Each structure stands twice: as C-alpha cells, then as structure tokens.
Amino acid sequence: MHLRISFILIYLCSCISLCTGYPDPQRHFWQTVKPILDLHCSRPCHNADDNKGGLNLMAFDFIQEIQRRGEIWVKVIEHVQDGSMPPDTKPALTKMESDTILLYINKYIRSALEKPDPGLITSTRLSNHEYEYAIQDLTGITINADSLLPRDASGGEGFDNFAASHFVTPLLMERYFEVGETVIEELGSNKEQWRSIVPENSFSIVQRIRHLWYSWIYNRNLDYEETVDNARDPIVRFTTQAYRRYLKPDERQKLVSFFEEVYHDLPEDDFRYDEAIQEVFKVVLVSHNFLIRTEVDPPLTDPYPVSSFELASRLSFFLWCSIPDNQLLEAAYKEDLHNPELYRAQVQRMLKDPKARRMAESFSAQWLEVDNLNDPSFEIDKNLFPEFDEELKSAMHDETVEYFYYTLSESRNFLELLNGRYTFLNEKLANHYGIEGVKGKEMRRVELETPERGGILGMASVLTTTSLPNRTSPVLRGKWVMEKVLATPPKPPPPNVPDLEATKQVHDELTLREALVLHRENPACYSCHQDMDDLGFALENYDALGRWRTTYTNSTKPIDVTGSLKSGEQFEGAVQLREILIAKQDQFATAISKKMLGFALGRSIEFKDTKTVESLAKVLIENNFDPVIFIEELTLSYPFQYKKSDPVVIVQMAGT
C-alpha cells in the first residue's frame, strides 16, 4: 500500500519536473491543446493502430514536430474549420475546444514560417524537352528527343523537370553520345547554319604574305597559329552557351588543345578546320556541364543568393525550357540581374520572346494534364467514338496550349483561363464543337457567341482526359476542378477501396447520378465526394469528348446538372459553375501560384513555401491576374533567388 503511494508520488514528481523543464508554450500544449486533440482526434481514429486516413496525430508530442510537418497540420486546421472533422458520427468539438485548437496550432505553424527557407535544389539532368530545346537553341537543329532517348519520369508537382526522377544511365549516356554526334554532323552538313556558328577560316592576302614572311624569317607557322586562334572564338562562344556560364581558363585551354589534337591528325584538306571544330562540339554535347544543371554549394549553413549565372539558368529553364541566350548571359556577367529594374526588363524580354511558348506548352499541358492525350496508353472507346482521331486529338491539345499562351502573352489575364469569351479552333475542332465558319487546319482565335465554351472548363482536351473510355466521369471531372481550380485536391481514397469509376458497371450515364448518390451514403466517401461529384455533374452537358449535349443518348429528359457545394453555393450547369469559380478566384490564384512555383523551381512545393505561395496569389489578385507581373514577382521570390547548401557538405567541410 505504502509502496504504491510512493510510486504514485514518484510518478507525479517526475511528471512535474518533466513539465517544468520545458518552455511555457510547450507546457501549455501538453496541458491544454494536446488533451483536446487526444480526446477527439487521436484516440478515436488517428493513432498508430487505426491510422485513419494514414494519419497518426498521437505521434506529435512536441511543438517542433508540428512545425516540421506543418503541411499535415494545415489540413487539420482546414478540416476542423470547415466542420468536416470530427465526422458527424463522432462527438463534435465544443466552440471552446475548436477555438483553442485553431488558435494555437495556427500560432505554432505560423511561427515556423518566420525563418524563411528557400529549400534545396539539387542537380538535375536536362529533361528530354529541355535537351531538345537546348540543342535547337545551340545548333538550330530540330530533333525529337522523346523518340531518341528513353522517356523521362516526372515527380514533385507533376512536371517533367523534377530532379529526383531524372536518372543518368549507361543506356541514356550511349544515346547522348550518338544523338550528339548525329546533331553535329547534321549541323556540319548544313553549310549556311554551320557558317553562322563557325565563320570560315580564311586569310586575307595581307595575312598570307605575313605568314610567308614569318615562315621564312622566323621559321614560324603562322598559318597554324592563326588557325588555332580562329577556332578559339567559335569554340568558346558555343561552349559558353552550352555550359550556361563563362568558361574557366583551363576549360577553354582543354577544348582548344583538343581542337589542335584533332586538327593535327586530320588530312590537310578544305574540311580539316571545320571537322576539328565539330569534334570539339561533340565533346561539349556530352559534357556534364551541358547535360546536368548544377549549382555550386558553398559550405554555408544559412541561405544565400544564387550566383548570377545560376540565376540566368533558373530564368531560362523556367521561361524557355532551355539554355540562356547570349544577351541573358551577358546580363549575368555584368551583374545586371541583381539590379531589380534590369532584372524585370530581362524577364519581360524573355516572356515576349517566342521561346516563352515552350514554357506555355510544357506548363499548361502538364498542369492541366491534357498531355495525357499524347500518352500511348490513353484510351477512348473507338467503337463508341470513332470520330476521335489523331487530328482531333492534336487540335484538342493545341487549343489548351494556344489559349494559355494567349492569356500569358496577349490578353495578359490568367483569369480568362476560367471565363474567356474566345477560344482557339481549327476547322476540325470547330466542327466538333458545332461552331461554323472556321476553315483550315491552323488554330486561330475565334470569338464565342454562346456561353457554353470559353476557358479551360469548356475545353474538349480537359473534358476528354477527365472522362472514361466509354462515358463521362463526374468524379474525375470534379476532382480535376478541386485540384486545378480550387487548390483543394481531395484526399486519396482510403486504401483498398476499389476505384468506383472503373469498377462499377455504370455503363449507362443515365443511372450515374443514382449510383453516385448511393455511393455517397457511405460516410467514408461522403466528405470528399459531396463536392467532387456535384462539381462534376455541373459539367455533364459535355459528353466524353467534350461535345455539348442537353440529353443523354436514348433519353429525352434534360440532364440534371444541378449541384451545391459544402460552402453553400448552388448552381446549375457549367455556366453558373464558372461564375462561382470566378467568385472563388482567390483559390484559383493559389492553385496557379503553387503549380507555377513548383514548375519554376523543379521541386515539390512544401509547407515551408506557404508564405511565398500566399504572396504570389496576392500578386495575382491585386493585379487582375496579370501573368507578367506575377511571373516577375515569382522570379524575384525568395526561393527563386536564394538557395541553401546540401547539409552534408557542411558536415564534410566542418570535418576537414
């Protein structure tokens, strides 16, 4: 008995001493905040055993841990705020309890953001697209990299410029050697193009006389010496652009020596000079300096600004998906890029350059996932939709890209992505939409007279890629809207729940709504599917290829396109939905900001980037969604301008 009491006493004492050793906020967390979380969240569902939604909140004992995994806690706050957690089947939080959670968790994660963190950007091999464009900008030779090199994977925010999923493999390297050789040989055989890069090695009469003189008098071969001098210039220019920085003296020397080596070995004929330079160019195209984007990591613990040349590369790979041009490199060399005025001028110039179209294409097709159209495994039921051919497919894809590029370069208004009164069509796609008077194959801007189309939600590309092979899918479309427009991607479905869409024998679109309503009765599905399904049903006037319809096949009843959101809005059909989405333009601003930042940095956007994303969204909202101002600010943002070193280097340096 006494023994037990003393045990309890010891336990109590140790508890107190445990608590007193910690700062006030931590003790407050244990005494006030954590008990609420335990009672309502951890114990019933989110613990190590049940692990509902893959979430174990029990594991968070310290505020620092919450701060480290801020992205989880942002979700917690969101769910408590919108009332979706705890679910209706569990006891609700009192006002007091929910206020406490919201206030303090918010406080913890806000304070975690006070110290800015630019994130780590690691070396990345050029993506196939970047390689293709870089080759084009360097040599003027056009290749199709995806048909010549193994295909890239992507990751992070879903773009193919994501470092960690780009491997360098022996197979790829073999291909780089081969493609590089082919490109340079083709360049060499195109005289005009070659001469624009490598001027002729010719000597004037005066020079020739001097050469003779020197060889008589001093026994010097000026012919040879000046040939080497002549070669130096095109070699250095070509390599500088390929390496995206000025060359170090020894690098320059090595390449020139290699030129001499080859020149020496070649027979004395008219092609000797050019062929020797070609061999040097082949070296450049397989050098890591060309193939891999690397930023040097000085041994610093704090973040620091990236160097001028690195910044130039960041800009050009973001805005052109390729290497910088000479003007940009020169600006970097003159340190102009650290002058905000001149820097903005560069960004504006780059956005005006036709090469910005590459970014528009790469970004829009991957962001909106219409590049799925080009996936060999993308499938449409040919029996049901014989009209879906290659020509239609590429017109669908191009509509999205042209449209995006137009909002970027002409109308300068990203909000038109949701509600433009025009679109881009050729004859094929216009016929598909039932719009008359468009002739020919080229895409051109067409004013819209009726409100069915205009903006990404009315595009056949989007509507087709979010359909199943044989019918529309309100769920996929709803998910797409939540992700791309509202910046609220639904949680992944619980594990081992079969993909309802693919499995249910809802072959008949007529019974789709009933099937989905039934499915939502399951509370596990309801919380996400409520919004998702209704958003999708608003788009049911578009069939699986994005054509407008008012009834389903074999039915005369008008399609039910009504729906509502958890936040209260009611709508009927695509046009009304668009208005609601415009009203939620703050969320759209967040969605674009996050994705474009991810694209620009080539990494995942994480909790530490919250402030950057927020301020970029603000820039959009405050400037009528002007993409140029937005992109300027993005390229001036902290994570774009700063970097930090890989911690391991610091450890190594400290050790040595």
Partner 1 sequence: MKSWHINRRRVLRGIGATVGLPFLQAMVPPGMKMEKYLENNRPKRLAVFYFPNGTRQDYWSPEQAGRNFEMSPTLKPLEAYRKKLLILNELKNNLVDVSGTDGHYTKTAPFLTCQLIEKTTGANINVKGTSMDQVLAQHIGRKTRFSSLEYGMDPVRGGVDSNVGYTRLYGAAISWESPTRPKPKEINPRFAFDRMFRNYIPGQVLKKENPWKKSVVDLVLEDASSLSRQLGAADQNKMAEYLESVRAVERRLEAKEDLSNFEANLTPDIRKELIQMNVRLNDFVDLNSEVNITGKIRLMMDINALALWSDATRVTTFMFGNSVSNRNFSFLDGVEGGHHSVSHHRGHPQRIEMYGKINQWHSEQFAYFLDRISSMKDGGDQSLFDNSTVLFGSSIRDGDKHRASNLPIVLAGNGGGILDTGQNLFYKKDTPLANLYLTLLKAMEVPIDSFADSTGELPGIRV
Instruction: Give residues 376-395 in contact with partner 1 (rule: CB under 8 A).
Output: 376-377, 379, 381-383
Point out which span in 97-105, 346-354, 487-495, 613-621 binds partner 1 (CB under 8 A): 487-495
Instruction: Provide the token pair at 333.
Output: 């060399």
CA angle (490 as vertex; 485, 492 as ends), nearest 5: 140
Q: How far is the CB of 262 from partner 1 (least distance, A)?
A: 6
Ranges within 286-315 binding partner 1 (CB under 8 A): 286-289, 291-292, 294, 296-297
Among 12, 19, 92, 171, binds partner 1 (CB under 8 A): 171
189 lies in the site for partner 1, by CB under 8 A: no
Beta-carbon contacts of 626 under 8 Å, excluding residues fewer than 6 positions away, are 412, 413, 414, 620
As measured in angstroms, the least distance from the Cβ of 448 to partner 1 is 30
Region of 335 on the Ramachandran plot (φ > 0 left; ψ -120 to 50 alpha; else beta): left
| Cβ count within 10 A of residue 491 | 12
Contact positions with partner 1 (CB under 8 A) in 255-274 = 258, 261-262, 265
Q: Among the candidate windows 29-37, 62-70, 527-535, 639-647, which touches partner 1 by CB under 8 A?
A: 639-647
- Contacts of residue 416, defined as CB under 8 A and 6 or more positions apart, other chains included, come to 407, 455, 625
For residue 232, state whether it binds partner 1 (rule: CB under 8 A).
no
Q: Is 48 in the site for partner 1 (CB under 8 A)?
A: no
Q: What is the DSSP letter of 509?
A: G
Nearer to partner 1, 208 or 248 (CB): 248
CA–CA distance, 178 with 173 (Å, rounded to integer): 9
**Helix, coil or strand: residue 445:** strand
The residue among 112, 150, 157, 107 whose CA lies nearest residue 128 is: 150
Q: How many CB atoms lie within 10 A of CB 531?
A: 21
492 binds partner 1 (CB under 8 A): yes
Residue 68 engages partner 1 in binding (rule: CB under 8 A): no
In whole angstroms, what is the distance from residue 135 CA to residue 417 CA? 32
Phi/psi for 538 (5° steps) reads -60, -20
| 395-454 binders of partner 1 (CB under 8 A) | none
Name the amino acid, one letter, at 226. Answer: E
Distance in Å, CB of 485 to partner 1, minimum: 15
**Shortest Å, Cβ 293 to partner 1:** 10
Site for partner 1 in 125-154 (CB under 8 A): 125, 146-147, 150-154
Q: Interaction with partner 1 in 494-523: which residues (CB under 8 A)?
A: 495-496, 498-499, 502-505
Integer Cα distance of 26 and 35 in angstroms: 13
Instruction: Convert residues 3-42 into a mask of x (bound to partner 1 by CB under 8 A) and - (unbound).
Output: ----------------------------------------
Q: Which is nearer to partner 1, 19 or 649 (CB)?
A: 649
Does 113 sit near partner 1 (CB under 8 A)?
Answer: no
Tokens of 139: 């040599």
Q: Which of 603, 642, 604, 610 is nearest to 112 (CA)?
A: 610
- Give me the 553-592 binding string for partner 1, x by CB under 8 A, dash otherwise: ----------------------------------------
Out of 489, 508, 555, 624, the only residue in the binding site for partner 1 (CB under 8 A) is: 489
516: Cβ–Cβ under 8 A, 6 or more apart, which residues?
A: 474, 475, 529, 533
